[in-house]
Amino acid sequence: MASVELEGIKKAFGEVVAVKKLDLSIKEGEFFTFLGPSGCGKTTTLRMIAGFYYPTEGTVKFSQKDMTKVAPEKRNTGMVFQNYALFPHMTVFENVAFGLKVRKLSKSETQMRVHDVLKKVRLEQYSKRQVSQLSGGQQQRVALARALVIEPDILLLDEPLSNLDARLRDEMRTEILRLQKDYRITTIYVTHDQVEALTMSDRIAVFNFGVCHQIGSPKEIYNQPVNDFVASFIGEINLLNCELINRKEQESCTVKLLDIPDKTFYLYTEKIEEGLPPSSPLKLLIRPEGVELSLTELHEENVLKGTVSLAQFTGTSVNLHIQVNEKVMIKALALNKGELGWIENGTTIWIRLPKEQMRIVPSILG
């Protein structure tokens, strides 16, 4: 096991700056995910850790040891690629044994290690099978076994589940986590799939355009996003243009929603992201599950009146779109019980935005 430290990392390919300036450290044994849309620099960062690319600037360290210019084969990392990169005409055994052959391990040691790892990924009965005769999920396991058999200090996984169907993806998620805990191996996982990131990771780094916007546990990223990009990339959310009327003076703060004139809302000051620049555009955030609903009029603060414009039944709940005016639509969630479970388009409804459920963050999306 090793920790990974990236210090002031930048990577440019000619004019294209794939990673702008990155500082992060990954702890020993951690399951750490790089999450972000296509082209945001996740794979480039992973490849700098593997040693396939050298950074234009900055330092890559493993357990505080400088690895920036160390060749990939000397880093003791195991990597699983999106397309698996297996040798199709070799057997499962030969594919998994490949890295040990290169390392010149004895035949008996190789036999033992390949056998052990194939057992771990539940493929021991397939060792003589050609890889081209395996299903996608089985090939995925071979790729994992091949990465694990060298007993790497760090396991690097680049969108390893993207070629699998939804059911297999679910299964392999559990499988990867089981193996990661069994081997207690520092793992870096690249994905653009928020569900994978939320369900698997100890911590997540959210990237966009070569910049890492936030690092935190799944709960921190979901509940305390630092800006509207992070908020909108993970889960459903309402993003409302707003202006702060008083800034962090008392326990409760007053906010004006720019698209709902003549209405003032109150939220707790600790729900305001630290260090907001005074003149930056701001967004008020609230998750659909944080919105409270009533079919009878509410005479309280933070209440809006709207009309249901979409009621989408999902089984356990109903996803609602509620039109407040021409510009503002609020997404909410009603559980499939009581009268709200039967709600239909056109219904008049009162929306309460609870103080503790709202946050104010800078807007980088505009």
Cβ nearer to ligand ATP, comparing 192 with 287 = 192
Radius of gyration for the chain, computed over Cα atoms and rounded to the nearest angstrom: 25
Contacts of 176 (CB under 8 A, 6+ apart): 144, 157, 160, 200
- The amino acid present at 264, given as its one-letter code, is T
Q: Which CB atom, from 98 or from 229, has the smaller least distance to ligand ATP? A: 229
The verdict on 214 binding ligand ATP (CB under 6 A) reads no
Q: How far is the CB of 37 from ligand ATP (least distance, A)?
A: 7
User: At its nearest, how many Å lie between ligand ATP and the CB of residue 44?
Assistant: 3
CA distance 20 to 310: 41
Show the CA angle centred on residue 56, arms to residues 53 and 58, nearest 5°.
100
CB of 80 to ligand ATP, least distance (A): 14
Longest dimension (CA), the chain: 79
**Closest CB to ligand ATP among residues 41, 99:** 41
213 scored as a contact of ligand ATP (CB under 6 A): no
| Nearer CB in complex with ligand ATP: 42/203 | 42
Whole-number minimum distance, CB 155 to ligand ATP, in Å?
17
Nearest distance from C-beta of residue 159 to ligand ATP, angstroms: 7
13 binds ligand ATP (CB under 6 A): yes
Rounded CA separation 364/229 (Å): 7
Q: Contact at 8 Å (CB) between 360 and 244?
A: yes
Residue 113 binds ligand ATP (CB under 6 A) = no
The answer to whether the CB of 206 falls within 8 A of the CB of 36 is yes
Question: Alpha carbon of 10 to those of 18, 57, 203, 210, 318: distances in Å?
Answer: 8, 5, 22, 9, 45
Pick from 2, 26, 31, 41 the residue near ligand ATP by CB under 6 A. Answer: 41
Residue 325: Cβ within 10 Å count: 13
Residue number, 159 or 302, with CB nearest to ligand ATP? 159
The dihedral through the CA atoms of 339, 340, 345, 349 has a sign that is: positive
Residue among 40 and 272 whose Cβ is closer to ligand ATP: 40
| 85 lines the binding site for ligand ATP (CB under 6 A) | no
Nearest by Cα to 53 from 35, 39, 32, 67: 67
44 binds ligand ATP (CB under 6 A): yes
Q: How far is the CB of 362 from ligand ATP (least distance, A)?
A: 23
When the beta carbons of 40 and 285 are compared against ligand ATP, the nearer one is 40
Pick the binder of ligand ATP from 2, 9, 33, 42 (CB under 6 A).
42
Comparison of 18 and 242: residue with beta carbon closer to ligand ATP: 18
Cα separation of 212 and 35, whole Å?
Answer: 9
| Total residues in contact with ligand ATP, by rule CB under 6 A | 12
The counts of H helices and E strands in the chain are 8, 20
51 to 70: interface string for ligand ATP, x by CB under 6 A:
--------------------
| Minimum distance from residue 42 beta carbon to ligand ATP (Å) | 4
Residues that bind ligand ATP (CB under 6 A): 13, 16, 18, 36, 38-44, 192
